[in-house]
Amino acid sequence: MDWQLLISQLLNGLQLGMLLFLLAAGLTLIFGIMDFINLSHGSFYMIGAFVCATLVERTGSLIASVVIAVVIVFGVGLLVERFVARKLYAHDHLDQVLVTFGLILIFDTLAHLIWGAAGMTIPLPAWLNGQIDIAGVIIPGYRVLIISAGLAVVVGLFFLVTRSRLGMLIRAGASNRTMVTALGVNIDRLYLVVFALGAALAGFAGMLIAPITEASIGMGNEIIIVAFVVVIVGGIGSIKGAFVSAILIGFIDTLGRSYLDDLLSLFLATRYAETAAPALSAMTIYILMASVLAFRPQGLFPPASSMR
């Protein structure tokens, strides 16, 4: 067994899990609290990456750029909520699907207009470009940063949700909307903040990945589907569920891609295993989703009261 490979694959899985969680956290809250399906959530991921890349180009400082970019994406989230999403909460899901699909087209084209058709890279400062050597296993430093940044957000989010007043409202909202209204809370403001917070988290994920993949048009449109799967598996409205299933799916997807052919060649001739493995590994997370749904139609962690 190649331990170096296994460890680096595990880290890749963890990294994917973190990114998925950052995307899914906002999605699941927006589904759970506002009953709003936002296909264009991936656009915030892209906007985050582009804004951050631009800022790095201008300022040269990655940290400062990330901080400013998160604030900017939060602002974009505020605008989208205020002028588009809010008008749609009372509409049916079909309308929400169509409008947010339209938003994707608009955001992708705007990105094209502003940043051009080619992608943008974010150069890493030297201190992040190095390798870390832990007992003979070599790990890229930036991987560690992504994972720690993800973990930091997880911890922050858990504190926010479990300890703050906003968090209390979020939890109440995800399980029982009428109750929150009955508490006399300013619902409009709660929705606004939750939406923008979700946008900022998605944007942050885009910033984290951009130094590896580069910022490109439509970069959010594929990963967002996986984030949907994370939300379904975790249970709509559940942050905890989103976290568990994001990590699970991150691992399964990564390990599936690298080890499935070895596994299959135990049963099949190598030739067939090599053809079947990629197709099968493309399916693993969906098979996981289907099996979870077969036993738990509401996902792993359904919100406390399942009125909806």
Partner 1 sequence: MKPSAPRRVSWGVYGTLFLFLLAAPPVLVWADQPFYMDLLTRVLILSIAASSLNLILGYGGMISLGHAAFVGLGAYSVAIPSYYGIYSGYLHLGIAIAACVLFALVTGAICLRTRGVYFIMITLAFAQMLYFTFVSLEEYGADDGLLIYQRSEFSGLLNLENPGVLYYLAMGVLAGCLGLMNRLIHSRFGRVIVGIRHNEPRMQSLGYNTYRYKLACYAISGAMAGISGFLLGNFTYFISPEMMDWTRSGELIFMVVLGGTGVLLAPVAGTAVFLLLEEILSAFTVYWHLLFGGFLIAIVLFGRGGLHGLVEKLERRNHSR
Distances (CA, A) of 31 to 19, 117, 188, 237: 19, 32, 16, 6
Residue type, 188: D
Minimal distance, residue 37 CB to partner 1, in Å: 5
CA 25 to CA 8: how far, in whole Å? Answer: 25
Minimal distance, residue 118 CB to partner 1, in Å: 14
Minimal distance, residue 86 CB to partner 1, in Å: 12
- For partner 1, the closer CB: 65 or 281: 281
Show the CA angle centred on residue 141, arms to residues 138 and 142, nearest 5°. Answer: 135
Minimal distance, residue 25 CB to partner 1, in Å: 16
DSSP 61: -
| Site of interaction with partner 1 (CB under 8 A) | 31, 35, 37, 39, 84, 87, 91, 93-95, 97-99, 101-106, 108-110, 112-113, 221, 225, 228-229, 231-232, 236, 275, 278-279, 281-283, 286, 289-290, 293-294, 297, 308
Residue tagged 């792993």 (tokens):
300
Minimal distance, residue 117 CB to partner 1, in Å: 9
CA 50 to CA 188: how far, in whole Å? Answer: 29
- For partner 1, the closer CB: 113 or 135: 113
CA 195 to CA 33: how far, in whole Å? Answer: 10
- For partner 1, the closer CB: 102 or 123: 102
- For partner 1, the closer CB: 52 or 285: 285
- For partner 1, the closer CB: 140 or 218: 218
**What is the bridge-based pairing of β-strands 131-134 and 137-140?**
antiparallel
Say if residues 22 and 202 touch (Cβ distance below 8 Å): yes
